[in-house]
Chain A
């Protein structure tokens, strides 16, 4: 028979465990990307060229090189400089860095959409730059970009199989190992595909929930003026 249900049941527990690693890499990578992205976006807006130009160059560099190379670089090249990281950590950092660069562009769009009057009112009230960002700018800039950030969450999730290249035991790597042990690839690879499909759909639904919740909790009736 083309599809072996017995074998499917047999490998299911292993794949479920591996899916936890995939989810872990996704969540940690995205948390890193989301925070790093915000920091990069703010640095890139700095009045000082000494800050904004290098930040811009860094973002462009990270965005225009493949994630896989960044993963390899952190895992295989960093040790040359004495920085030895476990594969999972190196993978999460690489994904977080890469998607952080993308997220920073999303944040930047959000930040640039804040009307000039909001900044000027903050100056007139003598708010410090920190309070201005924390209380005035960021709460208005983020809700509109949540959908775009969510797209990158899903994109990052779908790139986690790249971590199999440095032998992180996430879904893809586990499926490959199972396949090579039993010489049956149909079931493991198909199941992994289905996992990704299901999780992507769940993530998309969650993002919509978060978006609605943000809009409600920030009480932005009628939108910015």
Chain B
């Protein structure tokens, strides 16, 4: 079997006495598109944040491309990773946030140049050229010099996608990237994600409430409930024939809301 791109090995996350994720096992193959769905508070965001190293895990190990992320090898045993190790391994991962988190004091293109120049050591001219290409790819070729506050939510989110891509990640994480947007702006962002999926070799993990998009786009859907994956499978199975009672309840509640 080939090495999974991302592997959660019995990962547990607690906040105080609250166990948010309970011994989670999850493997994601290279280039696989996984949609994470589930009720509020089920730990969906937490999964992405742990992978982005924004949260520490309490137990278990996360691997990225065969290499431990949360741990490192020392004298033949795995010990918790230090900052240097985290920085090196998380270079494989990019994340797009619900609220964009663009740098407001930088133009769109500077947002996309900051990390390549300072982290990858790319010459400014090259970084500018690549950033311009990426902004063009997300349909913002004419907005490169605009500041975030001069852009619509959908445009800002597309800048954020370009910014993450500029670091050439192998894995992209999307946390409800359309839920802060006005309905008429959702489509333009989803289109960019579709394009990424078909034109780039990217492993994608997305938390979403857009069931239609998950069904059409994902290779696999994971339904989270109570800190565990209650059910997972191909989108058609999950959406047409959910086996788990919780999945059924969740899906009918979502359908009703729409």
Q: Taking beta carbons and an 8 Å cutoff, which residues of A are in contact with B? A: 115, 117-118, 120-121, 123-128, 131, 135-136, 139-140, 218-225
Q: Are A124 and B87 in contact (CB under 8 A)?
A: no
| Segment 95-110 of B: residues with Cβ below 8 Å from A | 95, 97, 99-105, 107
Q: Check if B118 sits within 8 Å of A128, measured CB to CB.
A: yes
Residues of B within 8 A of A131 (CB): 114, 118-119
Assess whether B164 is in contact with A125, with CB atoms less than 8 Å apart. yes
* Contact partners of A124 in chain B: CB under 8 A: 52, 54, 93-95, 97, 164
Contacts of B102 in A (CB 8 A): 121, 225
Interface CB pairs A-B, < 8 A, 22: A118-B103, A120-B52, A120-B54, A120-B97, A121-B97, A124-B52, A124-B54, A124-B93, A124-B95, A125-B114, A125-B167, A126-B115, A126-B119, A127-B118, A128-B87, A135-B103, A140-B105, A221-B149, A221-B150, A222-B104, A222-B148, A225-B148
- On whether the beta carbons of A223 and B114 are closer than 8 Å, the reply is no
Of all chain B residues, the one with the shortest Cβ separation from A47 is B83
A208, B101: Cα distance in complex, Å: 30
Name the CB-closest residue of B to A139. Answer: B105
B175-193 interface (Cβ within 8 A of A): none
A63 to B53, CA, bound (A): 38
B52-103 contacts to A (CB < 8 Å): 52-54, 87, 90-91, 93-95, 97, 99-103
Return the chain A residue nearest B98 by Cβ. A117
CB of B54 within 8 A of CB of A127, answer no
Task: Tell me if A222 and B149 are in contact (CB < 8 A).
Answer: yes
Q: What CA separation (Å) do A135 and B102 show in the bound complex?
A: 13
Interchain nearest-CB distance for A216 vs B (Å)? 12
A-B contact sample (15 more), CB < 8 A, given A117-B99, A118-B101, A125-B163: A115-B101, A117-B97, A123-B52, A123-B54, A124-B93, A125-B164, A126-B115, A128-B119, A131-B118, A136-B114, A139-B105, A218-B105, A221-B150, A225-B101, A225-B104
A221 to B105, CA, bound (A): 8
Tell whether, in the assembled complex, residue A220 and residue B105 are in contact, meaning their CB atoms are under 8 Å apart: yes
Q: CB within 8 A of A136: which of B103, B119, B150? A: B103
B239 within 8 A of A: no
CB of B147 closer than 8 Å to a CB of A? yes
Q: With contacts A125-B167, A225-B99 known, is A135 near B149, CB below 8 A?
A: no
Closest to B149 in A: A222
What distance in Å separates the Cβ of A186 from its nearest Cβ neighbour in chain B? 52
Q: How far is the CB of B200 from chain A (nearest CB, A)?
A: 18
With known contacts A123-B53, A127-B118, A131-B118, A223–B164 Cβ distance under 8 A: no
Determine whether the beta carbon of B115 is less than 8 Å from that of A125. Answer: yes
Are A121 and B149 in contact (CB-based, < 8 A)? no
A126, B90: Cβ atoms closer than 8 Å: yes
Shortest A224–chain B CB gap in Å is 5
Chain B residues contacting A139 (CB-CB under 8 Å) are 105
Q: Which residue of chain B lies nearest to A132 when distances are taken between CB atoms in the complex? A: B118
Question: Which residues of chain B come closer than 8 Å to A115, judged between CB atoms?
Answer: 101
Beta-carbon contact of B114 and A127 below 8 Å = yes
Contacts of A128 in B (CB 8 A): 87, 118-119
Give chain A residues whose Cβ lies under 8 Å from the Cβ of B97. Answer: 117, 120-121, 124
By the criterion CB–CB under 8 Å, are A140 and B101 in contact?
Answer: no
Asked whether B101 lies within 8 Å of A117 as measured between CB atoms, the reply is yes
Considering the chains assembled together, what is the distance between the CA atoms of A218 and B104 in angstroms? 10
**A225 to B147, alpha carbons, bound, how many Å?**
12
| In the complex, chain B residues whose CB is within 8 Å of the CB of A224 | 104-105
B107 proximity list for chain A (CB < 8 A) = 219
Which residues on A sit within 8 Å (CB–CB) of B52?
Answer: 120, 123-124
With both chains docked as a complex, state the minimum distance between the C-beta of A108 and any C-beta of chain B, in angstroms.
20
Contact B167 A225 (CB under 8 A): no
Interface centre among B97, B115, B147 (most CB of A within 10 A): B115
In the assembled complex, which residues on chain A have CB atoms less than 8 Å from the CB atom of B105? 139-140, 218-220, 224
Assess whether B118 is in contact with A121, with CB atoms less than 8 Å apart: no
Q: For the complex, what is the distance from the CA of A224 to the CA of B148, rounded to whole Å?
A: 9
